[in-house]
Structure 1
């Protein structure tokens, strides 16, 4: 399996939302964007699927060295080799890659967040940084690349908040709760309720609030994409549309996310991504 095939299977297997979002980018940009998605998936798996924090930190330390090797021109992992192949200057995005890794390191530092500003530190790292990297890689001019950070980081943070909603049950079973403690208290929902899959009227109200805020954040961030950048950013626009559609589906299913994984069908993902990428 070559580097690009590895990245495709890691980040965007057929039928996944990432698969359809990436297909909306230009053919020339797809290999680099797929490699970025694959790197994020590698880091996410390390952070969220490693139960022993010591092992997890060791794995992320290895990735830190591998990203430095990428910047130096001698990567060894299929994902970093793909990035080296498709990047003009790997050193130029090294600070962004470090920031992305630092975001996932937070999963081994804390599993609960006191309030929204505290949670924002995490979403800025794993969401804002990633979407900024994708936006810059998608831009067709240097001016657009420089401008991307202004609007891309808020979009990434909003998408991270949206992704928490359908994953609340799964995250809780892995010991991580991405709802601020003060908001759980406001709605009289406990961490034990989430972990033990206890539904209630209070839980529904909490989820309505989380969903409404996430949806509002994504819409606001999408509206901030400059008109002259919208064509270049078809991948991110499709990704955002898929997240919004999933929020709608979760709402239709009355927020039954503690015991099951709610998902869109592949044909719906295809249609949503295609339509979003071509909308003015």
Structure 2
């Protein structure tokens, strides 16, 4: 019987030394980029494949939230929106917040939502939250088109709405901070929920509280000065102000607060990935 040569041997397992916590495994993630594309398609299209309206739900949920917030905070509470039409202010804010929450949910549901797949085949687990962030960016593109149409409508009607080009060039920084902080927080929660399942019961409430505490449905200028100085400890507030300053020409975040928010977002992301990589080694035993 012919013995296989070294070149003919097929290895089924590769033993590697444990990597340090700061190893993000991005090289391995790049080798599985085709799988990431498949997951993007799954998250963006297949998730609503058997629904009546299909991918339109990517637009309907933020739009419905915008209508409710416009009625509650604009018509009833009459919170000043810095001269911007309440609907446009709320839609712009929900457009950015929706991107943050989708990045968070994609990372937070990684282990519990894909345990069946993870137990059968190996691939970089980070492919799941990364693909979720990319599909969230596609949803943001759909919402951004509606934002442009709404902006054109209000300008045509003679409303005092403008786009601050000087601040708009920094808008990608706001999007980067939202993605990093959303994925980082989601990864931290995902790592903790592999052992503490009841944490999932508080995620929805936590996101709601975080939204109301992050100047999403109201501008920072609506807060009293005694509260505003403490509110700025929330790194998401300068990010929201930065996004609205470019898209609506309102808000005036300081450069210091923006750089602090960017640094905190990067730190949260690195801590989240470190906890995520540590939890993926043993989560199958506890899920």
Which one scores higher on RCO, CA 8 angstroms, separation ≥ 6?
A: 2
Task: State which structure, 1 or 2, has the greater radius of gyration over its C-alpha atoms.
Answer: 2
TM-score (norm 1): 0.29
